Amino acid sequence: MRSPSPSLPSRRDAIAGAAGGAVLLANWPASAAEPAALDVPPELQRRMYAAALDSAKRHVRGGEPGSAYRRRFVDAAFSSHIFLWDTCFIAAYAKYHPEELPIRPALDNFYERQEADGFICREYDAQGRPFWPKDHPVSINPPLLAFAELELFTRTRDVDRLAGVYPKLARFYDFIAARYRCDDGLFFSDALGSGMDNIPRYPDGWRDDGRGLPLHNLYPQVFNYDLLSSKWNRQGRSVDFSAQMALFADQLAQIAHIVGRKRDIARWRAGHADIARAINAHCWSEADGFYYDLGYGEPIRRKHIGMFWTLLAGVAPPARTRRMIAHLMDPAEFWRRIPAPAWPADQVGFSPGGDYWMGGVWAPTNYMLLRGLRRCGAEATARGLARAYYWAVAQVFEATGTFWENYSPDSLAPGRIARPDFCGWTALAPIAVLREFIAD
């Protein structure tokens, strides 16, 4: 089934037009003058970087009289809504240009709307209202605010900023753990809330059994999420969401250390270890060498890109990491002409043209892979992935003059459902991937 996301009001307004012209950047990485990224010449690298920065600057908004968003902020800006995980990944490249790309106010938009019980919705509308109800996991995107804050901290070293947001992050973690963690230590989620809109998360052949949390759509006149996916939540367990919560705990421990909350560190480290134990005890298939989601306690034997969050979260032991990387590097699975698709080529439903998350290659998940590979010491694999992906993005940029929401896995082309001028998180490739894995 095609993703509901393109028909959402918050996903429907494609911003057409090619990215802006090239400029020389004063703080361009010094080593970028040397050939890098397969055969992408330095001149094209510069044009891509400048075009991405120009596009992202054109997506700065807010601060108008009467606006719910009081300060100017950088955004994906494909609609009047704001999205949590888009914003968190934007932070990973906006950190290099904080004056031009105001990322702190973008993150603050979410903190300012945090409710007393810790809830932060994954999406707010133009009036600053939550678009999803907090009693259903569709309201929770990958909880990456701590990740985003640490990205900024690597550049600013602003301890006061971290100290100010730390209590908000802790309350958000506690809200999610109270609502969505199960007795086995794992977390349940929602397909649309996971961010990978049209990936099926329920077992093959499943029909609604009424055992999931029911969803009350807040704005059915705008968008009514009533697919089978919305009925599947607490019947299952999600590897990606569980690993993201392990990462959240791990990064809260880091922040607690930085801001001097020493008594909290043991709690967060224990939380990380406990979630990691649950993932490894319940979700690993020794026969297949892969982590799987669960349904009613049984493996749902489908691979998708979300399982690789176990690398970035520091969850997978070395032997399991090696087997996961073998799947990633297999040309029959994830290592396609443009690596790495969200849905592998050896599974039913794979689209060589992308079809959104059923084969599309996405900047946020590729960046997650790169950072995960680096964390587990697979630096050569990370650089190989970075070079292959960056080269492909460069070819499509040359052909179309813009960056796309996602890319086809099996041809040098945009994904079958993809918006142009998407910077947005695709600016990760020409900015963060270049700086951190190619030109560093």
Rounded to whole angstroms, how far apart are CA atoms 149 and 436? Answer: 18
Nearest to 185 by CA among 252, 239, 254, 263: 239
pLDDT of residue 311: 98
Q: What is the mean pLDDT of residues 215-227?
A: 93
| 168 pLDDT higher than 90 | yes
Query: Which amino acid, one-letter code, is at 168?
Result: K
| 31 pLDDT higher than 60 | no
| 258 pLDDT higher than 70 | yes
Q: Where are the alpha helices (DSSP H) in 31-157?
A: 42-58, 84-94, 103-111, 145-156
Q: What is the mean pLDDT of residues 325-331?
A: 98
pLDDT of residue 440: 72
DSSP for residue 316: S
| 2 pLDDT higher than 50 | no
Q: What is the mean pLDDT of residues 221-225?
A: 92
pLDDT of residue 357: 98
Lowest mean pLDDT among 26-30, 133-137, 234-238: 26-30
| 10 pLDDT higher than 80 | no
**The whole model's pTM is what?**
0.92
| 254 pLDDT higher than 70 | yes
Q: Which domains does the chain have, with CATH numbers?
A: 5-438 (1.50.10.10)
Lowest mean pLDDT among 15-19, 136-140, 205-209, 339-343: 15-19
Nearest to 302 by CA among 405, 191, 386, 214: 191
Q: What is the mean pLDDT of residues 20-31?
A: 33
Q: What is the mean pLDDT of residues 189-217?
A: 97
Take residue 196 and report the two structure tokens written for it: 């990978």
Half-sphere exposure for 227 (CA within 13 Å, toward CB): 18
User: What confidence tier does 77 reach under pLDDT thresholds 50, 70, 90?
Assistant: confident
pLDDT of residue 38: 64
| 1 pLDDT higher than 70 | no
Query: Which amino acid, one-letter code, is at 3?
Result: S
Rounded to whole angstroms, how far apart are CA atoms 327 and 319? Answer: 13
Q: What is the mean pLDDT of residues 346-352?
A: 97
Share of residues in the chain with pLDDT > 90 (%)? 90
Rounded to whole angstroms, how far apart are CA atoms 285 and 287? Answer: 5
| 5 pLDDT higher than 60 | no
| 36 pLDDT higher than 90 | no
| 35 pLDDT higher than 70 | no
Q: What is the mean pLDDT of residues 96-102?
A: 98
